[in-house]
Structure 1
Amino acid sequence: MPDLERLGLLVSDTDKARAAAEQFRSLTDWVEPEEAEALVVLGGDGFLLQTLHAMLDSRRIVPVYGVNLGTVGFLMNRNRAPDKLLSRIAKAREHTIDPLAMEATTQDGERHNFCAINEISLLRETRQTAKICVTVNGKVRIEELVCDGVLVSTPAGSTAYNYSASGPILPLDSDLLALTPISAFRPRRWRGAILPNRYDIQFSVLEPDKRPVSAVADQKEVRDVAEVSVKVATNSRLTLLFDPGHSLDERIVAEQFMV
């Protein structure tokens, strides 16, 4: 469990989160986020993802306990009994997430490296469908995928864009990745693949002048890409803290029974 004497507090820039923060600030002597052994994040899923990305960029990674003061709060804990926050953190269960590492090479040869916690997506930039060659572990699996796009999702992100694109929901501890097409035209019957997360995935854009494609790692976009490689960033493991009975793996299971 994290050191409860060295907790940092981060608050989303919303009226709801700022109002709740007044009560949370009285619970303990908070330290500066850069000195904390764990962070309490008040806000929604978007703010939590922003926080996790900031840690990846700074290379200083600590456990994070999120309190939902947003909308969905899929990655957060419920905002209940604020006065018992410290005891809830002491009892919290750890869940680790391995982000994806993307290296995208543009048509003019520039290379861009970003991490994604949810998914990495390739998306057509114009009205023309994209044509993409899909390679897995050095072997071409689809010579020409004609589509609106294609994405690679982590288990943590499998209930987000991936699920909306009819991709599978992956258990958090499955060590799997979802490779999911977005509105595939050819091959029409291909619905995607579930791959071990130790596999490397490469995409090559075909006819890029006529059919330009962008690559998006969560919210960071690179336009006019020529090639994109995706693999798990095993050296950047993230830790989320959840109340017992409200863990991320339970939410992923529950999501599959919602109608």
Structure 2
Amino acid sequence: MAYPDKIAFKASSMPDAQHARTKLIARHGDVPVDEADVIVALGGDGFMLHTLHSVEAMAVPVYGMNRGTVGFLMNAFAIDDLHERLHAAETQLIHPLQMLATTADGTTHAALAINEVSLLRAGPQAAKLRISVDGRVRLDELVCDGALVCTPAGSTAYNYSAHGPILPMGADVLALTAMAAFRPRRWRGALLPNTAKVRFDVMEPAKRPVMADADSRSVTNVVSVEIASAPQITHRLLFDPGHGLDERLIREQFV
């Protein structure tokens, strides 16, 4: 990227992140987000997602430094040489998912997800879901704790914990992964082109309530959820050379 003159520092509420922000501002100065050439986000992956969503309408790139617990999307923290690191940083472009969730009262809720859109049972009984892809029913009934659709950038998060596949950044695919599938027994999901439009219909929603979640923005009592990639929205993440998402996704598979 071009050598950044104006940096906006954003930090999570955690003491380590706030302390780091104070020290960085004393060293490098600070500008409002809408005047910045780059945003430096201090925290963990959750705060990085929050920061990216907060600047969805802007083209400003985001460089994360880990001052949280999980830092898959973050660079190593250091006070010194920040301008040089930003100048040398590699840009990773990612596109989110668009979720349209319809609730029992007919209301539609829209949200974007950088990592995944997930459906989860919201009661003691397993969820029953019908899955359609591009308007064609592919699975009449999935009995499970839940299911998700994730991007490559999010494939090492909830998806990987649910035994879904890690997706290379250039694969142009989405992963559809089940959580604790009961019928079909141990069904793990599918790989879909990133142009696919996925629809979940909730069967017996009154008896088996389901909630939907897009990067921790939740909707309860859903009866259907439609998910598709949103290529018109681009997030720009900055990584130190040799530590970008491609390398991290490969490295994650050998730990």
- TM-score, normalised to structure 1, is 0.95
Distance 2:64 2:24 in 1: 13
The answer for the alignment partner of 1:130 in structure 2 is 127
Distance 1:147 1:180 in 2: 11
> 8 Å contact 1:136–1:201 — kept in the other structure?
yes
Determine which of 156, 159, 163 is the counterpart of 1:162.
159
1:38–1:86 Cα change, 3 Å = same
Q: Can you give the 5+ residue segments of structure 1 that lack an aligned partner in the other structure?
A: none
Deviation of residue 247 (structure 1)? 1.0
Structure 1: which amino acid aligns with 2:111? F
Q: Secondary structure at the match of 1:26?
A: helix
Deviation of residue 189 (structure 1)? 4.1
The answer for the alignment partner of 2:248 in structure 1 is 251
Determine which of 67, 70, 73 is the counterpart of 1:69.
67
Q: Secondary structure at the match of 2:137?
A: strand
1:26 to 2:26 alignment: yes
Q: Secondary structure at the match of 1:246?
A: coil
Q: How does 1:200-215 map to 2 (within 5 A)?
A: 200-215=197-212
C-alpha RMSD of matched pairs (Å): 1.2
Deviations 1:56-98 (A, max 9, x none): 2xx2241100011112211000013x22000000000000111
Distance 1:5 1:29 in 2: 10
Deviations 1:162-214 (A, max 9, x none): 01111000112211110001111111142110111111101111111111111
> 8 Å contact 1:3–1:38 — kept in the other structure?
no
The answer for the alignment partner of 1:222 in structure 2 is 219
1:79 to 2:73 alignment: no
Structure 1: which amino acid aligns with 2:145? D
Distance 1:185 1:234 in 2: 34
How many aligned positions are there? Answer: 255
1:235 to 2:232 alignment: yes
- TM-score, normalised to structure 2, is 0.96
Deviations 1:16-67 (A, max 9, x none): 12222233113434221122121011111111111111122xx224110001
1:98 to 2:108 alignment: no
